[in-house]
Structure 1
Amino acid sequence: MLLHKSDPLTIFNPEESENLGAVFYDTGISAGFPAPAEDFSQQRLSLDNELVKNKEATFYARVSGQSMIGAGLDDNDLLVIDRSLQPSHNKIAVCFLDGEFTVKRLKVDNEGIWLKPENPNYPIIRITDANDFVIWGIVTNVIKKV
């Protein structure tokens, strides 16, 4: 059975941050031929406004480890996690499993629930009644450093 815990996990709450936003140039930055500089129009952009659909149910957490590199989630990436989204097959979820937090892809079939890493060096985890298991939220975005 897929569960949502009602108490929020406070890693970083978007509502607690000032929502000033950074400077945003409202034009595409060309990855091909250069674009004329005069085409840029400047305004303010808040990443919370772009990445967070439900502020009351959204939090951020940092990835630790390599088990999800095949899904583009690398060590130290920042995840945007929405607790209001329904967990379902093939979604990437942040879960609490037997006293530890983990991020994995959900596999739901007639045989049960599985947590599938996106790295062949890590095993698939089958969830049983013996596990202390809660789905904290669904990953909606990842923020990377380059």
Structure 2
Amino acid sequence: MAITARNLKPTLIISILFFFMVIPMGGHRVMRESPQQYNYYDNYYYNPRLPQICENFPAICNNNHGSSGKDCCRSQCVDLKSDMFNCGKCGNWCNYSQVCCGGRCLGVLFDNSNCGRCGNKCSNGGRCNYGMCSYA
């Protein structure tokens, strides 16, 4: 028995047409409510169940909305130029009485170029004593 239009039921014809309409749509991108647009092949890169930390999402530190720095150290956004617990590199702690200035640990109690804080120079031959410039 040959297949003709008379033998086919209308629901079968509609099903076949629907099947051929859906196949070409498979390659289109899918929009999700997320910071970026992903297609269904990007599931390896985006996992909504991962914690929102900078190791999983590095762009969090570059956002500047409440981020304390653009560098990621131990799941936290930090500024390697001023963070005394990550000065210059992750995990580099400044000692007591030191401050992180430009990524270097400096003693600000007796430094005439950084007296009390970064970049505070004692003028007129003053000396830095315990973080204060003396002018006498």
Higher Cα Rg: structure 1 or 2?
Answer: 2
In the superposition, the TM-score normalised over structure 1's length comes to 0.19
Greater per-residue helix proportion? 2
Higher relative contact order (CA 8 A, sep 6+): 1
